[in-house]
Amino acid sequence: MTVPQSSGVAIGTIVLPLSNVHVVLGRYPMLVDTGAPGDIVELRHGLRQLGVRLEDVRCAVVTHGHSDHAGGARVLQRLGIKIVAGTGDLWRELRGVHGHLTSTGGLFALFLKLLVPGHYQPFWPDVRVRDRYDLRPLCGVDGEVIAMPGHTAGSVVVLLAGGKVAMVGDLFRGGALAGYVHPSEPKEHFFQDDLALVHRQIHALLARGVEVFVLGHGGPSRRDDVIRVFGLKD
């Protein structure tokens, strides 16, 4: 599990080759992100290790429309899983395109651009989040999705445990070497559409009282570490 039971929520993480897929264990298991194209076999295996059957999953939240997070959405949708995603990335999802990546600097970012697939199976999200969405009725999870553009125009964050836990996709990353070294250490993500806006969103989550940040790469990160790296808004 990625967060302590004392947080009031149980989350399992499946580390796939290009990103994390998280499983929120509510009344029904819910996925946060779907992996890259072709990850379905590894995703099934990871779910089995967590004691979860893919057939029991009702919903998957796509934190943003990049292929390493949205690439498996159409496969899951064909299995009857409802897809929740932000409206700002609808153009990516309808075309199945990764889109332009704006680097925050560093040679490793150039290398990553070569690794991440440019296309994935297009899909139309069952739920399109413009502002916020209550996960309880459809997904059976006590939490909500809120729009938090910055990484992409359609990026969303999942808030759980009364707002103490935030599943933030790629607002920032954890650790070095794709999260395999010091995975809990917060770091700037390699790509951001609007870096200044991303920092404001991180500060907004801290102002909400978020204690644990669950990440799309590496993680989780604790509040004190996030404040140390990104600071607090005055």
Could you tell me the CA-to-CA distances from 92 to 64, 79, 99, 111, 156 in Å, in that order? 9, 21, 7, 22, 15
For CA atoms 29, 41, 110, 183, give the dihedral sign.
positive
pLDDT of 172 strictly over 60: yes
pLDDT recorded at residue 180: 67
What integer pLDDT is reported at residue 3 of this predicted model?
Answer: 59
**What is the Cα–Cα distance from 96 to 124, expressed in whole angstroms?**
10
Query: Given a cut of 90, is residue 195 above it in pLDDT?
Result: yes
Write the DSSP string, 65-133: SSHHHHTTHHHHHHTT-EEEEEGGGHHHHHHTB-----B-S-HHHHHHHHHS-SB------SEEESSEE
Please, what are the domains in the chain?
Answer: 5-230 (3.60.15.10)
Distance CA 193, CA 68 (A): 16
**What is the pLDDT at residue 232?**
80
Per cent of the chain over pLDDT 70 is 91
Give which of 18, 38, 20, 21 is closest to 30, Cα–Cα.
21
Q: Look at 41 and 117; give whichever has higher pLDDT.
A: 41
Query: pLDDT digits over 196-221, tens only?
Result: 999 999 999 999 999 999 999 999 99
Neighbours of 65 (CB within 10 A): 30
**Whether residue 4 has pLDDT greater than 70:** no
Q: Is the pLDDT of residue 5 over 60?
A: no
Q: What is the mean pLDDT of the chain?
A: 92
Query: Which pLDDT tens digit goes with each residue over 9-22?
Result: 899 999 999 999 99
Least confident window among 92-96, 180-184, 210-214: 180-184
**The pLDDT value given to residue 115:** 77
Residue 1 has pLDDT above 80, yes or no: no
Q: What is the pTM of this model?
A: 0.94
Alpha-carbon distance values, 182 to 72, 114, 179, 229, 231 (Å) = 27, 24, 7, 14, 20
